[in-house]
Structure 1
Amino acid sequence: MIVVTAASGQLGRLVVQELLKSVPAAEIVAGVRSPEKAKDLAGTGVQVRELDYTKPETIQAALAGVKKLLLISSNAVGSRAAEHKNVIDAAKKVGVELIAYTSILHADTTPMILAQEHKETEAMIKASGLPYVFLRNGWYTENYTANIAPVLQHGAVLGSAKDGKFSLAARADYAAAAAKVLTLDNQAGKIYELAGDVAYTLADYAAEIAKQTGKTIVYSDMPEADYAKVLVSVGLPEGFASVLADCDTGASKGALFEDSKTLSKLIGRATTPIAESIKAAL
């Protein structure tokens, strides 16, 4: 059996949907924090089990009979590593045969603060002795298109990435890659640097929105500290705002650029163009 953690989340649901294309539903376990909120997943025939990163007692039970585990990184920035450790410890106890982890692009070399907990998690997985595969995901296009409304309202994309290139891919592309790896043999020890086929600057992103809407949309670049203040002003916690602004600075230094096309080779198709993602968001 294959278990997908955080299966009711945005990425997890897509992975389950991809797995259902080639794996019998009864062999898929959707690990979720709140089973009552995953009735739609249960309706597909997959097993829905409670799996809460902060409750170790739920994790071991959820992994019973599981051979392969997809550990989707927690969204609790700052406490991710501790939550991931709970899953890794449980996986070791039940004897999971392969643990796949959604890490971050160039986790071992990137200067971004956001990567620290991913590095810690990769180290814990290696130290556990479990067979592993790391899916080092680049930036999701949805990181931007999910917030397209204020861009349209103010006529500007804000950031501190200068002319740094982002090798963006849609969340569905990364989900397809995860599902593919979980269904392939001989994956232990592999590390995939996953990113979109085409790289874009934030100015490119702004220009594409302008093209599709006929509105004047510009990219306004600002110092990292000023961008962080803007993020705080729209409601983000100060610490998280600083992390996101640091990511932009990292991108300006090439941290989110990757041209190996490993992702498209793995899924057997081109990654989703940014124009398509913007069209869907609009």
Structure 2
Amino acid sequence: MILVTGASGQLGRLVIDSLLEKTAASKVIAAVRNPDSVKELAEKGVNVRQADYTDPDTLASAMQGVDKVLLISSSEVGQRVAQHQNVINAAKQANVSLIAYTSILKADTSPLLLAQEHVATENLLAESGVPYVLLRNGWYSENYTMSVAAALEHGVVGCAGDGKLSTATRADYAEAAATVLLQDGQAGKVYELAGDNAFTLSEYAEAISKVTGKTVSYQNVPEAEYTKILVGVGLPEGFAAVLADSEAGAAKGGLFSDSKALSTLIGRPTTSIEDSIKAAL
């Protein structure tokens, strides 16, 4: 039995979809805060269990009879460590055989502020005594392509300089997670997962231009100015600062990797940024 936390989220749903392509629905458990949000999974035969990162009792109940757990990192930046600790405790109590955790690319050396909670969680896993595998995911291509319409109108704006971004789609990362969960002998492994073909934001702008036929340019701005721009389009100031810090970290190489671990796991090249742009359009 494989339990996926955060199964109603964007990554979680894709992991469930990938698992269902490879194994029986009766062996898959979708752990969600609100079971009504994934009724379609229950209709497919997936076990749906109520589980809240902040409620240890629900996590303990959800873990009953579970062999492996995919701990998808919480979306609540600043609250992650305590929430992840609750999941790890419940998994340990249930004697699961493996926890797979979605960390961040090169977590232990990353210059990104976002890496701090991931490193803390990796340390909790190491201290727990539960066998675990680290899925250190790079940046999602969707982090950029979801705003491709705005890029067409205003150009690409950021503070990543000439830093290379080794992005892949959520579906790519989800397929890799499903593959790891279904294979034996994963305990102790650390996967640095990233897209095959890295690009700078200038090259991203060129890719949009190539796909659409409309000239799009990249404007690099200071980190503080980029934070203000993100706040101006409606993001909370704290979250905007974290995103800007991530872009600044990319300028230092924090979101680049030439590892081919992701494409090796999924048995095909990762999705190109051009194809991601086409899908977004």
Q: TM-score range by the shorter chain?
A: over 0.9
Deviations 1:158-216 (A, max 9, x none): 10000100001111110010000000011000000000000011111111111122222
Q: Determine the C-alpha separation between the residues in 2 that align with 1:233 and 1:6.
A: 29
1:262 aligned partner = 261
User: Please, which runs of 5 or more residues in structure 2 have no aligned partner?
Assistant: none
Q: Secondary structure of 2:136's partner?
A: strand
User: Please, which runs of 5 or more residues in structure 1 have no aligned partner?
Assistant: none
Q: Secondary structure of 1:172's partner?
A: helix
2:214 aligned partner = 215
Q: Secondary structure of 1:112's partner?
A: coil
TM-score (norm 2): 0.98
Equivalent pairs, count: 281
Paired residue type of 2:116 = Q
Determine whether 1:132 maps to 2:132. Answer: yes
Match runs of 1:37-186 below 5 Å: 37-154=37-154, 156-186=155-185
Q: State the Cα distance separating 1:51 from its structure 2 match.
A: 1.1
Q: State the Cα distance separating 1:149 from its structure 2 match.
A: 2.1
Q: Determine the C-alpha separation between the residues in 1 that align with 2:62 and 2:146.
A: 31
Determine whether 1:5 maps to 2:18. Answer: no
Q: State the Cα distance separating 1:226 from its structure 2 match.
A: 0.6
Deviations 1:218-272 (A, max 9, x none): 1110001110111111111111111111111110111111102110011111000
Q: Determine the C-alpha separation between the residues in 1 that align with 2:148 and 2:43.
A: 32
Q: State the Cα distance separating 1:38 from its structure 2 match.
A: 0.5
TM-score (norm 1): 0.98
Give me the identity figure in percent: 62
Deviations 1:14-50 (A, max 9, x none): 1111111121110100011110111111121110111
Deviations 1:71-115 (A, max 9, x none): 000110111111111101111111111000000000000011010
Paired residue type of 2:241 = S
Paired residue type of 1:186 = G
Q: State the Cα distance separating 1:120 from its structure 2 match.
A: 0.5
Q: Determine the C-alpha separation between the residues in 2 that align with 1:97 and 1:158.
A: 45
Q: Determine the C-alpha separation between the residues in 1 that align with 2:37 and 2:243.
A: 29
Deviations 1:126-179 (A, max 9, x none): 11100000000000100111122221222x111000010000111111001000
Match runs of 1:178-257 below 5 Å: 178-257=177-256
Runs ≥4 in structure 1, deviation > 3 angstroms?
Answer: none
Q: Determine the C-alpha separation between the residues in 1 that align with 2:261 and 2:211.
A: 29
